[in-house]
Amino acid sequence: RLKKNGELIGKPLVFEKKIMNIKETPKDFYRGQYQADLMNFSQLLEYVRKFDRVDKKVARRLAVDLYYKTSFPFISFIVVLLGMGFGLNSRRGGAAWGVGISITISLIYYAAMAIFLALGKGGWLNPLFCAWGANIIFLIIGITLLKKLAN
């Protein structure tokens, strides 16, 4: 062990052989080369659990990716809902106006999703909330627009 200034505390232990119980296998270290977006849900879940014991920051970033895998399929539905809400509520400009608004809202949605994911990976917000935050906010906006249309 070392003091804060770098001095040794006590005498160093020297071993000719030392048997250590290491839970990780060489395969675990090799798998570290994988990217989260290339893993399926169960592989990534296993990866998060392993890193949770070793490095909480890495586990948190991987957890954001894990939860994002569950929220991503709903993006198309929510964008269509928003497009319908804005397109049908628009009184001026016709179909071109509705398409333009829908594209703009989609880009804002994409930016919001990127911001939420960055906040989650940076440790600022809960990983589950970060993966689903933009979906929840824009789903509420879409439902509100459709209710306004129904009234």
Other Cβ atoms within 10 Å of 45 Cβ, number:
15
**pLDDT (tens digit per residue) in 59-116:** 888 888 889 999 999 988 988 888 777 766 666 666 677 677 778 888 898 999 999 9
**pLDDT (tens digit per residue) in 119-134:** 998 889 998 999 999 9
- Please report how many Cα atoms fall inside a 13 Å half-sphere around the Cα of residue 20, on the Cβ side: 7
Q: Which of 29-33, 39-43, 133-137 has the lowest mean pLDDT?
A: 29-33
Give the pLDDT band (50/70/90) at residue 136: very high
d(CA 120, CA 113): 11
The confidence score (pLDDT) of residue 51 equals 77
At CA 75, angle to CA 72 and CA 79, rounded to 5? Answer: 170
The confidence score (pLDDT) of residue 92 equals 67
Mean pLDDT along residues 43-54: 80
Please give the residue that has the higher pLDDT: either 96 or 141: 141
d(CA 82, CA 115): 19
Other Cβ atoms within 10 Å of 52 Cβ, number:
14
Instruction: Mark out the alpha helices in the chain (DSSP H runs).
Output: 26-31, 41-54, 56-71, 75-89, 94-121, 127-150
Q: Which of 30-34, 35-39, 61-65, 107-111 has the lowest mean pLDDT?
A: 30-34
The confidence score (pLDDT) of residue 31 equals 54
pLDDT greater than 80 at residue 42:
yes
User: CB within 8 A of 130, min separation 6: which ones?
Assistant: 64, 67, 116, 117, 119, 120, 121
pLDDT greater than 80 at residue 26:
no
